[in-house]
Amino acid sequence: MDIVMPKMGESVSEGTILKWHKKKGDHVNRDEIIFEISTDKVDTEIPSPAEGILTEIKFNEGDTVAVGTVVAVIEANGGANINEKAVEDNAVISEPVKSQSAGEKKESYAVPETGTEINAGSAAETTPKSLVEKGSNSSGTLVEIKMPKMGESVMEGTIIKWHKKVGDSVKKDEVMFEISTDKVDTEVPSPSEGIVSEILIAEQETVEVGTVVAKLSTVEAKISAAEKTPVKNAGQSETEKEVEEIKRQYAGAAKTDTVKSSAQSAGIKPEQKASKFLSPLVLNIAKNENVSFDELDRIEGSGLDSRITKKDILAYIEKRNSIKTIEPAKAEEGKPEPAADVFKLSFEPSYSVNDVEKIPMDNIRQKIMQHMINSRDTSVHVTALIEVDMTGIHNFIQKHRDEYGKKEGIKLTYMPFIANAAVKALREYPLVNSTIEGSTIIKKKFINLGIAVAIEPTGLIVPNIKNADDKSITGLAKSITDLADRARNKKLTPDDITNGTFTITNYGVFGTIFGTPIINQPEVAILGVGTVTKKPVVVEAGGMDTIAIKPIMALTLAHDHRLIDGMLGGRFLKFMKDALESFNENSI
Amino acid sequence: MAGKYDIAVLGGGPGGYVAAIRAAQLGFKTVIIDKENLGGICLNWGCIPTKSLLKNAEIFDTMKNHSADFGITVKGLEFDFSKIIKRSRDISDRITKNVEMLIKKNKIERIRGFGKLVSKNQLDIFNNEGGKFDSVTADKVIIATGARPRMVPAIPVDRKMIITSTEAMILPEQPKELIVIGAGAIGVEFAYFYSVLGTKVTIIEMLDSILPVEDREVSDTLAKSFRKRGIEIFTKATVEKAEIKGSMVYVSINVNSEKKELSADKVLSAIGVTGNVEGFGLEELGIELYKNHIKVNKSTYETNVKDIFAIGDVIGPPWLAHVASHEGIHCVERIKGLNLPDINYENIPGCTYCQPQVASVGLTEAKAKEAGYEIKVGKFPFMASGKAFAIGEREGFVKFIFDAKYGEILGVHIIGSEATEMIAEAGLAKALEATGESIIKTVHAHPTLSESIMEAAAQAYGEAIHI
């Protein structure tokens, strides 16, 4: 009987004989160790397949031979010849049981139908991919939901909240998610009816406009899948189920994983604060240095799987702290950067944690903050003030308020009158209706009148009335009401908030007499409207100075002195004053 | 055999052969060139054969000095020095053959010869007689030629009486007396080995402690243990002259400006290594060197010549096999374009395999202070460990250095039995930027020596239970 070098594994093609435990002529029992071999995988002892006498040793210790090579011959004991002979052909030494690897099993038992183990194994390997592929395959009717473009200059948006999760059904126009851009927060409705099949971008992640954020399988797809499934199931064996089970496990695993932006990130829990793995050390540093989770989210990690390392967070803190000292210099250079990080100025806290409540800023607040600082750093703000006698308009409103409410369905206020006067003034002094681009003045021939709208509890947004100069006072009144309503209900469209040319902010509604507003960039002026108060004023009546009581309003014009000097600012305000004071019923 | 390859690896040590296998795994057509057996110094003349020798010493030490502690009586205990050496060589032979097989399995072309860069992309291969017999071209070349013992004029190595580590592991006879110059890991390990076998050993170290890169407390503990064994130690000692006269070597040293004359039948020079940068065509190609090592960008491992890379001992400290392997993998993965963070050289464990073993990762107490950290130190002696008691290995301790401000693990130092195995936990903790708390709150199995790591961390925060 030939003893051959056994195959010790799929990829092993040779073995080295380390040691012969028997020498020529020795008697060996079945399963007694004859020799030891070494391969790149294992060292192992080789037992005899049968009892007999070792009659020949073909290789010496230290020799390396190919798998299958005959290394020795055993002469079976006499008497058992016939039986042994029969065995002999097959008795090419079988591998020692110990070394029978999974790979070997695969080879011998790989029958596809019953090969559950093998199938399951390979399915497990490819599951994440195949899940995705499956989605797109069954999807002649798979709809991709993209990050919408929220305005000309808006390049990216942050998903604030998913209203739907994977597996949820949605109706057409039902809100799927909320987004926030640097301009506006808005809800995004579903373009069609269907089932959410994938959510690709997690909450708080920011992606470029046009990025696919979710996939929706439409109703047809669902039905066809439903039709197909039973048929498929009937035809598929246990293996299929097992594969599904493994897929489910994988999906589950991905859920608990804090995957950054993979296809599985739908599982990130909304209450979860940090969206990536943070090492204990990074967390400690963040705690000590008052680095918020929001900030941590923005730090780019240099570690394995983009983890934030100690180095990253320390570099961030250093940068954050240095902004404080760099800032004034920047302003002097007249090259203010988008002040993205300025709000992170660290101030040494002198309070105990129990005395304060820490509130992370929402996106809108952060954007407002950035816009305000940016404006302050961009424009040279100068504020001029003028008092306007609102008697004519006051009386008109008193007289026509009810009638107006009934006829037009809106509440008549001072605002449309002021807007109308502003439009006229802008037409008269178009330089106020312009923008600075480098050393060029862009004088606009259209007037898109921005109206600052306060959003409870702490927001502010400036939608604009397109071509306000085409509108009557009534038209302006309607537009203002409409914009304010939509702003408060998050129904503004991207168009509403882009391309404004001049802004009016009415802080008078809160009783403020006058203020010095900040210009809405890239505009060059903003009109502040104070409250209308009855005041004693000196008027001339019959050639005599006399004191009268009149509804007086302070208008302030904050203008950018880079372009608008005091003369133009003053003239603009005087023009408005004259227009408002000379109002009569025929104007409407 | 002349062929064209994606990657040619020059040198088959733990840097080179690992780089070659990783390259093959990533689909590169790869060739590896080395005139010796694969495995480099590590498998042939370093890590593995010396650890084999040390195991013999450990067993003998236990049987000779501690068998009574365990109630075992040993009579007629003796050893056969030549068999000790043979065991070490056999192990080395076996393991290098395994590497050859791994190379074959990964379908890497193996050329046995001396490779020399004749151009940026071409290597000529020479036999031992200097005859060119082959030439290969490759898009990228990785130089992994390693390092060799450093020589200085004051110590004229003849490889018979004044020897290097290579000869020290294949001496035909056990020396009666051995002077070890240099108390780094290599020197200290041989000092231990020969001392256990009965050789009278003297260590000479230039700096102020043995294992000078280790934490001072660790070095002092080891020195104490060595002195107890009868090893004589001179620190802050410089060798002025070593001379062979007849069958003895005479060494003149200067200790604290005091001259001293020592003699022994063998002197081991273990004063560090220097890069193998000569003869490979590096100068001709203008590859920039730095202190006898190749200068590389430690992010890509590329030299100043495009498409020529270098890894391992030849690029300089910390001359460690595990670093070379990681650099090899990193280098190849970068060539492949994989995005991965650079190797963090602050998190590399260092091990010395004498008894008690020494292992550490990160900063020593002194270095941490020097770096300006305000530190917190935690220490736990094996004396207080139940497992250490049970196995009769009560020597040594675990020491943690924390940054007091953020709780970062700055350094972990272990001296004691199995220290080299236990350091892995500290390495992982540092790599994952764990803090003391992470270690304290990790449940460690009882009874193990590793519990001492948890206890040492806890001790820094006043939370240790068993001391």
pLDDT of amino acid B66: 93
Q: If you measure CA to CA, which chain A residue comes closest to B342?
A: A303
Query: Quick one: which of B224, B232, B209, B191 has its CA closest to B353?
Result: B191
Identity of the residue numbered A540: E
Give yes or no on whether A129-228+237-253 and A267-328+337-343 have one common fold. Answer: no
pLDDT tens-digit series, residues A137-168:
444 477 888 888 776 667 788 888 888 888 88
Q: Say if A300 is an interface residue toward chain B (CB within 8 Å).
A: no
pLDDT of amino acid B171: 96
Is there a contact between B434 and A279 if contact means CB atoms under 8 Å apart?
yes
pLDDT (mean) for B313-328: 96
Provide the mean pLDDT of chain B: 95
Instruction: Calculate how close chain A gets to B38, using CA atoms only, in Å.
Output: 13
Partner residue opposite B105 with nearest CB, options A40, A284, A302: A40
Q: Say if A242 is an interface residue toward chain B (CB within 8 Å).
A: no
Is there a contact between B433 and A12 if contact means CB atoms under 8 Å apart?
no
Q: If you measure CA to CA, which chain B residue comes closest to A302?
A: B341
Query: Quick one: which of A268, A274, A270 has its CA closest to A255?
Result: A268
pLDDT of amino acid A262: 32
Burial of A423 (0-12, 13-18, 19+ CB in 10 A): buried
Our CA dihedral for B155, B158, B162, B164, rounded to 10 degrees, sits at 90
Tokens 């798979």 appear where?
A142
Spatial strand order of the sheet with B350-352 comes to B350-352, B357-362, B409-416, B397-403, B375-381
Q: Say if B67 is an interface residue toward chain A (CB within 8 Å).
A: no
**Which range among A233-242, A345-354, B7-16 shows the weakest confidence by mean pLDDT?**
A233-242
Token pair belonging to A254: 């991905």
Q: What is the ipTM of this complex?
A: 0.78
How far, in Å, CA of B354 to CA of B195, rounded? 11
pLDDT of amino acid A152: 61
pLDDT tens-digit series, residues A415-429:
999 999 999 999 999
Q: Say if B101 is an interface residue toward chain A (CB within 8 Å).
A: yes
How far, in Å, CA of B96 to CA of A360, rounded? 60
Pairing of strands B350-352, B357-362: antiparallel
Overall fold of domain A267-328+337-343: Dihydrolipoamide Transferase (4.10.320)
pLDDT (mean) for A436-442: 89
pLDDT tens-digit series, residues A337-377:
444 444 444 445 566 667 788 788 877 788 888 889 999 99
Is there a contact between A38 and B438 if contact means CB atoms under 8 Å apart?
no
pLDDT tens-digit series, residues B38-87:
999 999 999 999 999 999 999 999 999 999 999 999 999 999 999 999 99
- Residue B418 DSSP SS3: coil
- Residue B438 DSSP SS3: helix
pLDDT of amino acid A16: 85
Instruction: Calculate how close chain B gets to A383, using CA atoms only, in Å.
Output: 49
Name the more confident of A141 and B148. Answer: B148
pLDDT of amino acid A43: 75
For residue B166, the Cα-to-chain-centroid distance in whole angstroms is: 14
Measured between beta carbons, the chain A residues lying within 8 angstroms of B437 are 280
Q: Say if A425 is an interface residue toward chain B (CB within 8 Å).
A: no
Side-chain-side CA neighbours of residue A37 (13 Å): 27
pLDDT tens-digit series, residues A83-123:
444 444 444 444 444 444 444 443 433 334 433 333 333 33
A453, A475 Cβ separation under 8 angstroms:
no
How far, in Å, CA of B58 to CA of A57, rounded? 38
Token pair belonging to A134: 């499956």
Q: Say if B4 is an interface residue toward chain A (CB within 8 Å).
A: no
Measured between beta carbons, the chain B residues lying within 8 angstroms of A39 are 101
Contact partners, residue B392, CB within 8 Å, separation at least 6? B66, B69, B70
Contact partners, residue B426, CB within 8 Å, separation at least 6? B349, B361, B362, B409, B412, B414, B453
A16: left (phi over 0), alpha (psi -120 to 50) or beta: beta
B143, B304 Cβ separation under 8 angstroms:
no
pLDDT (mean) for A524-548: 91
Segment (H or E) for A294: helix A293-298
**Which range among A2-16, A47-61, B161-175, B317-331 shows the weakest confidence by mean pLDDT?**
A2-16
Is there a contact between A281 and B105 if contact means CB atoms under 8 Å apart?
no
Q: A546 forms bridges with which residues in the sheet?
A: A539
Domain ranges of chain A: 2-119, 129-228+237-253, 267-328+337-343, 364-587
Q: Say if B433 is an interface residue toward chain A (CB within 8 Å).
A: yes
Instruction: Calculate how close chain B gets to A265, using CA atoms only, in Å.
Output: 21
Q: Is the model's pLDDT at B173 over the cut of 80? A: yes
Is there a contact between A310 and B340 if contact means CB atoms under 8 Å apart?
no
Q: If you measure CA to CA, which chain B residue comes closest to A9?
A: B105
Give CA angle at B422 (B418, B424), nearest 5°: 140
Q: If you measure CA to CA, which chain B residue comes closest to A10?
A: B105
pLDDT of amino acid A166: 83
Provide the mean pLDDT of chain A: 75
Q: Is the model's pLDDT at A246 over the cut of 80? A: no
pLDDT tens-digit series, residues B416-460:
999 999 999 999 999 999 999 999 999 999 999 999 999 999 999
Instruction: Calculate how close chain A gets to B442, using CA atoms only, in Å.
Output: 13
Q: Say if B299 is an interface residue toward chain A (CB within 8 Å).
A: no
Q: Locate the DSSP E strands across A181-313.
A: 185-189, 194-199, 206-208, 212-218
pLDDT of amino acid A225: 41
pLDDT of amino acid A297: 83
pLDDT of amino acid A135: 39
**Which range among A132-136, A461-465, B122-126 shows the weakest confidence by mean pLDDT?**
A132-136
Radius of gyration of chain B (CA): 23
pLDDT of amino acid A191: 81
Name the more confident of A466 and A129. Answer: A466
Radius of gyration of chain A (CA): 40
**CATH of the domain spanning A364-587:** 3.30.559.10
Q: What CATH architecture does domain A129-228+237-253 belong to? A: Beta Barrel (2.40)
Name the more confident of A225 and A263. Answer: A225
Indicate the pLDDT class of residue B168, thresholds 50, 70 and 90: very high
Tokens 């004051």 appear where?
B154
Q: Annotate B15-42 with three-state secondary structure.
A: CHHHHHHHHHHCCCCEEEECCCCCCHHH
Using the 8-state DSSP alphabet, how is residue A498 labeled? S
Q: How far is CA B195 from CA A159, A486, B171, B177, B237, in A?
A: 70, 89, 15, 9, 20
Q: Say if A366 is an interface residue toward chain B (CB within 8 Å).
A: no
For residue A497, the Cα-to-chain-centroid distance in whole angstroms is: 22
Q: If you measure CA to CA, which chain A residue comes closest to B441?
A: A280
**Which range among A232-241, A440-449, B276-285 shows the weakest confidence by mean pLDDT?**
A232-241
pLDDT of amino acid A269: 32
Q: Is the model's pLDDT at A11 over the cut of 80? A: no
Side-chain-side CA neighbours of residue B238 (13 Å): 6
How far, in Å, CA of A6 to CA of A68, rounded? 6
Annotate A235-261 with b (16+ C-beta within 10 A) or e (fewer). eeeebeebbeebbeebbeebbeebbbe
Q: Is the model's pLDDT at A447 over the cut of 80? A: yes
Query: Quick one: which of A172, A210, A208 has its CA closest to A193?
Result: A172
Indicate the pLDDT class of residue B160, thresholds 50, 70 and 90: very high
Of the residues B101, B107, B338, B461, the best mutation for testing chain A's interface (the one with the most A CB atoms within 10 Å of its CB) is B101
Greatest mean pLDDT range, A32-41, A125-134, A217-226, B195-204: B195-204
Is there a contact between B341 and A309 if contact means CB atoms under 8 Å apart?
yes
pLDDT of amino acid A337: 44
Query: Quick one: which of A42, A49, A31 has its CA closest to A8?
Result: A42
Q: Is A2-119 assigned to CATH 3.30.750.24? A: no
